[in-house]
Structure 1
Amino acid sequence: MPLWVAALLVTACLVLASCGSAAASRSAGSESTCRGKLSGVSYITVWFHASASVGAEWQTMVAQAAQFNRSQRQVRVRLITLPEGDYEQEVASAAASGNLPDVLDFDGPNLYNYAWAGDLKPLDSCLTARQVADLLPSIRRQGTYDGRMWGWAHSIRGWGLYVRPSILRKAGISIPTSPARAWTAAQLTGILARARAVGYRQPLDLQISYDSEAPEWNTYGFAPAVWSAGGDLIDRAGYRRVDGFLNGAPAVKALTTIQGWAKAGYINPNRDGMAFEEGKTPISWVGHWLFDAYTKAFPGDVQIVPLPRFGPRDVTDLGSWQWGITANAPNGDAAWRFISFLLRPHQVLQMTDPDGAVPGTYSAIRLSPRFAPGGPEHLYVEQLESGVAKPRPQTAAYPALTAAFAGAFQSIVVGLKPVRPTLDAAARAVTSDLIAHDYYAATR
């Protein structure tokens, strides 16, 4: 059995573990999570994902929880950090046993399954009109499922190619200055050949090592190639059909191109994630979180450019980890008091500054010169404002969908398996999951 199929089966089991509470969600979804009142002292438990790759973010979260506890006396936070690699399994286990914390952080697209399964409470009664207006539209879009808001993110991920301008100019390569001037995939193929000619045998870093830590990387990182080619992973008009989408002509075209880079030897295996920092590659396909590391390694010689176009569209991904209030929280107002604290501009910047993420509120962006026009990360804001950034499919079937696509991508690009048959198998697996769950009827 291919490893990605095994992973899909595990994912299906995790989904099923939380399905028992779905009926409760549908009956409780209209209730107000927040009533605007706090009395006495409330104690809440907060879970936060933590790993070596988000060390600075983890340290900031610990400091913010302590700061919140010092700042007032009505709500006391007990912060629990869990390794990112095991985090989703821990959440699924806690949901199945009824032991979720009051406040949970979770990767963006997992919201849709958690909301459908009844693991979250809606936040509409908690957010003020001013808070809603301050959120970036992409934050609101990512946090919404079935017409209600279930999650809030302090930041949104920036996405593109990091390049070494000095190396590219040496090879006679022009550098894009905006999404409208993005390289095409064919142009990037030629650029890789020219980079090889000036001494970089494997000039492209795709951060392949991330797959071993978090398979979601393959979907987050490379679904934009499918979207750019004019396709999608699922029919978003109802989220009931994947055949002809996940395995459609645009998906086949995009992944065939990326596989071609692998077959040509252009992709650096980069198992330690250090290829760009160590000067082995002049191009790295990755997000905002490596901005500081890359610019520290090559001061004045790092630039962010758009992802390549695989077809008619300029597309990048959007998403981030979100905060939500779980169905287990007896006091929504106490839980929201802490989340609302994290919404403050200076708290947002404390969390985003260490890794270069785009602040999730306009008030925080105004205080951050790195995202202003002319700033080194302004491209990320430009992509979010222009509609180039696109959310991953907003469906409760997302765990099964991402497991199938991520596994297929790994088989195609690393294992060099035939593209169309591999995507056909992935589409069949997701179709079976949709049928088994009655197409994930909405929470009404």
Structure 2
Amino acid sequence: MTLLLGGCEAGGDHGEQHPRRTADATCDGRIDDPAQITLWFHQPSARGELEAVRAQVRAFNTAQDEVTVRLVDVPEGDYEDLVRTAAADGELPDLLDFDAPKLFSHAWAGHLRPIDSCVPKSLRADLLPSVLEQGTYRGRLWGLGTFDSGLGLYVRPSVLRDAGVRIPKGVSDAWTADEFTGILKKLRILGYDRPLDLQLPWADTEWGTYGFAPAVWSAGGDLIERSTYRTADGVLNGPRSVEALTTLQGWAKAGYVDANKDLDAFQKGRSPVSWTGHWWYGRYTEAHPGDVAIVPLPDFGTGSATGMGSWQWGVPAGGADGDAVWRFLSFLLRPDEVLRMTDANGGIPATGTAIERTDAFAEGGPARLYIDQLRGGTARPRPQTPAYPAITDAFAEAFAKIMRGAAVRPALDEAVRAVDKDLADHGHYPPTGP
């Protein structure tokens, strides 16, 4: 018990002292009195996530008696709306989770406390760099996740071999977009009428942005001008963004893309290529044992790109003692607890220590590409601006229209107008907050 408590105090298995608290810091390494903290957790889509959190709360409360965590049952409905309403009313819990790119608007609005002072150097060194990057806004760390995400093309190697198609070995030899178009033609000749799954039923949701912003990035475009974050004009609707989305639309117009209304295009064998994320790994490998590989997304001109970021934990402003909250958050980042969650949801473990204890993501594992992308710079964060909610709504809507056949440039022009209106409405999000 003494060893366990010591591990919790020092940030799990990372046994150095916390940085000392400065004037605007959250942690000083001390919990003066027994503390109680409240916790919110979103309504998960993956079965088992909520039970994993409940088990973590029980394990933590049993292991020590300085901090007691109470998991609050949140009402059904839009979780993000619930968080915004609670923030406006000053009723946020002491710890809550949120989808990673929403962090920036919460930090800008003053809803969160920075946690730089809580995270020891040894834990920082063990975390995936993408987890730290996605949790950072204006040079401060505001959130940490216990798992990350990744994109790639799931392919059936047996089918590609029959079509005479090479299988990329890593990011450095990703298929070019033109090469990939030729591959789709070969697969159709082989008998696969609609060989590509793009998860189109979710095109107008966050998937549209997370899944296909990397095509824009790979072409040399972006969703907003990132040096100032003051406009999307000339970038989101610029020639490189238009070119990338025209290529994607071309695959749909040629009939290569399965509508996937039954969500089984890859599993049932209609589409031997699926452009999707890590969360399909279990179901895909179960459907085609020994005949699934993950390769990088196509290179649209400047190298293959991919996404990063998943749900993160943040410490709301005005809540319980920061060290008490960090005590529990550091417990969640212990290898056993990271793996408890990723075993439940299929996520990519957030720490190197946990990664090397997995079969899929460890060196030589079948899903190792995700780690290489997250560590090697192929993965990029979604725009790190409080305007992100407006950006993703506008881009996903445009992407869905484009894949249904709308003219590319006008759809992107409309998205730019929506983004720039949000920027103007908020004074371009000044650093001082609202």
- TM-score, normalisation: structure 2: 0.91
The Cα of 1:248 is off from its aligned counterpart by: 0.6
After superposition, the C-alpha distances for 1:238-277 in whole angstroms (9 at most, x for unaligned) are: 1112100010111101111111111122111113422212
Name the aligned partner's letter for residue 253 of structure 2.
K
Distance 2:61 2:333 in 1: 16
Counterpart-to-counterpart distance in 2, 1:147 and 1:443: 14
Shift of 1:211: 4.3
Partners of 1:84 and 1:252 lie apart in 2 by 39
Per the alignment, residue 105 of structure 1 pairs with 97
> 1:362 and 1:85, CA in 2 relative to 1: closer, same or farther beyond 3 A?
farther
Distance 1:428 1:247 in 2: 10
Please say if residues 50 and 81 of structure 1, whose CA atoms lie closer than 8 Å, have aligned partners that are also in contact. no
Q: 2:340 aligns with which of 327, 350, 375?
A: 350
Partner of residue 411 from structure 1, selected from 389, 401, 406: 401
Deviation at 1:56?
A: 2.6
Cα distance, 1:182 vs structure 2: 0.7
Match for residue 338 of structure 1 among 328, 345, 348:
328
AA matched with 2:88 = A
Q: Which residue of 1 aligns with 2:63?
A: 71
Kindly tell me: are residues 82 and 173 of structure 1, through their superposed partners in 2, closer, same or farther at Cα, counting changes over 3 Å? Answer: farther
Of Structure 1 and Structure 2, which has the larger fraction of its residues in helix? Answer: 1
Cα displacement string for residues 352-408 of structure 1 (whole angstroms, at most 9, x for unaligned residues)? 234443221122223224223321011111112221111111111111111111111
Match of 2:147 in 1: 155
Instruction: State the SS of the aligned residue for 1:300.
Output: coil
Match of 1:426 in 2: 415
SS in 2 for 1:176: coil
Identity of counterpart residues, as a percentage? 55
Matches of 1:222 and 1:312, distance apart in 2 = 15
Q: Which runs of 5+ in 1 are unaligned?
A: 1-28
Q: Which residue of 2 aligns with 1:131?
A: 123
CA distance in 2, matches of 1:111, 1:126: 18
Q: Find the counterpart in structure 1 of residue 160 from structure 2.
A: 168
Taking the TM superposition and a 5 Å limit, the aligned residue runs for 1:287-366 are 287-366=277-356
Residue 249 of structure 2 is matched in structure 1 by 259
Is 1:31 the counterpart of 2:24? The answer is yes
Q: How does 1:51-66 map to 2 (within 5 A)?
A: 51=44, 53-66=45-58
CA distance in structure 1 between the aligned counterparts of 2:255 and 2:380, rounded to whole angstroms:
30
List alignment gaps of at least 5 residues for structure 2.
1-21
Deviations 1:208-258 (A, max 9, x none): 22347xx11111000000000011111110111210001011110111111
Q: How does 1:388-399 map to 2 (within 5 A)?
A: 388-399=378-389
Structure 2 residue 170 is the aligned partner of structure 1 residue 183: no
Corresponding residue of 2:231:
241
2:260 partner SS: coil
* Closer, same or farther: CA 197–85 of 1 in aligned 2, 3 Å: farther
How many residue pairs get aligned? The number is 412
> 2:203–2:399: 8 Å Cα contact kept in structure 1?
no
The residue aligned with 1:442 is: 431
**Aligned residue in 1 for 2:16:** none
Structure 2 CA distance, aligned partners of 1:85 and 1:253? 38
The alpha-carbon deviation at position 437 of structure 1 amounts to 0.9
**Partner Cα separation in structure 2 for residue 199 and residue 179 of structure 1:** 28
Residue of structure 2 in register with 1:7 after alignment? none
TM-score of the two chains, using structure 1 as the length reference = 0.89
Q: Does the CA-based 8 Å contact 2:147-2:347 persist in structure 1?
A: yes
